Amino acid sequence: GVVAVPLPTDDTLIPDPEAARALITPRTKAISIVTPNNPAGVEYPAETLSALFELCREAGIRLIVDETYRDFATHTGAPHDLLTRPDWADTLIQLYSFSKAYRLTGHRVGAVIGDAELLHQIEKFQDTVAICAPSLGQKAALHGLQTLAQWKAEQRDEILARRAALAEAFAPLEAKGWRLKGLGAYFAYVEHPFAMGAADLAPLLVREAGVLILPATMFTPPEDPSGDRHFRIAFANAGAESLRALCTRLAALDLPPLQPL
């Protein structure tokens, strides 16, 4: 019986708390956000998180903040102060994944921070689904927490270097009408200039350019036409040279452009 209600953004790809307020009804239970964002890569400002927190507290609902990619954000220090607020547990649920921080993808090891009674209810649900994460993944996460702080910092530096390399290499694409709308953590979110939709373009890019990137239709609601105008580029495993090659190949595409209205 759960229904997800999309919260659209403008070109900044950052949620508007007032737009969220307008969507709240008596049935609303929570607002769920991801920062740094997947698929857009955008880091939400602390002011946005604060406004959403206050909105949820005022409405008596939960704010779910998924911070899976927080270790690879551009800023240093805490991304927000929500966990220092009085009675934060009445409103905030924070999600985290060890899978990205310690390269444990597939082990499904994460963390939830929230109200103790709420965590008890989550455990009851989890017991009917997975009972317990495999012990190997839990031991690996513990090893990471205890011994891999320096290694994780080096991985963050490498991701930030790849982010900078993609930003630098994007100029030829920008000249061809592409727009870099989001860039951060693992992902870039780009708008393409072609008449063809992204869902149809994606397999063509594999054949014609040797590029595999995901159409944003995989992330947007079916009724949202913006999905066909955008792609998500995952760059965390691509070196600077590969990212330059990516931009060169995409810039060389010769396809009919989108006609202005």
Query: What is the pLDDT confidence band of residue 202, given thresholds at 50, 70 and 90?
Result: very high
Residue carrying structure tokens 């320096």: 150
Average pLDDT rounded to a whole number, residues 104-126: 92
Residue carrying structure tokens 């495993």: 237
Answer whether residue 4 is part of any domain: no
Q: Which of 52-61, 127-136, 193-202 has the lowest mean pLDDT?
A: 127-136
Q: How far apart are CA 173 and CA 160, in angstroms?
A: 21
Phi–psi pair at 159, nearest 5 degrees: -65, -40
**Do residues 68 and 135 both lie within one domain?**
yes
Q: How far apart are CA 201 and CA 194, in angstroms?
A: 9
Q: What is the number of structural domains in the chain? A: 2
Last residue of a domain, one of 147, 176, 209: 147
Query: Residue 126: its pLDDT value, please?
Result: 86
Query: Residue 162: its pLDDT value, please?
Result: 96
Answer whether residue 256 is part of any domain: no
pLDDT over 80 (residue 261): no
Q: Record the tokens describing residue 64, joined without a space.
A: 């779910």
Average pLDDT rounded to a whole number, residues 143-163: 96
Answer whether residue 234 is part of any domain: yes
- 91: containing domain: 17-147
Average pLDDT rounded to a whole number, residues 167-182: 96
The contacts of residue 135 (CB under 8 Å, 6+ apart) are none
Q: How far apart are CA 93 and CA 32, in angstroms?
A: 9
Query: What is the pLDDT confidence band of residue 259, given thresholds at 50, 70 and 90?
Result: confident
Average pLDDT rounded to a whole number, residues 157-179: 96
**Do residues 136 and 180 both lie within one domain?**
no
Mean of the per-residue pLDDT values for the chain? 94
Residues in a beta bridge with 110: 97
- The pLDDT tens digits for 121-149 are 999 988 888 777 688 999 999 999 999 99
Last residue of a domain, one of 126, 147, 168: 147
Residue carrying structure tokens 């956000």: 33
- The pLDDT tens digits for 80-96 are 999 999 999 999 999 99
**Do residues 85 and 143 both lie within one domain?**
yes
Query: Residue 96: its pLDDT value, please?
Result: 96
Average pLDDT rounded to a whole number, residues 93-117: 93
Helix (H, G, I), strand (E, B) or coil at 193: coil
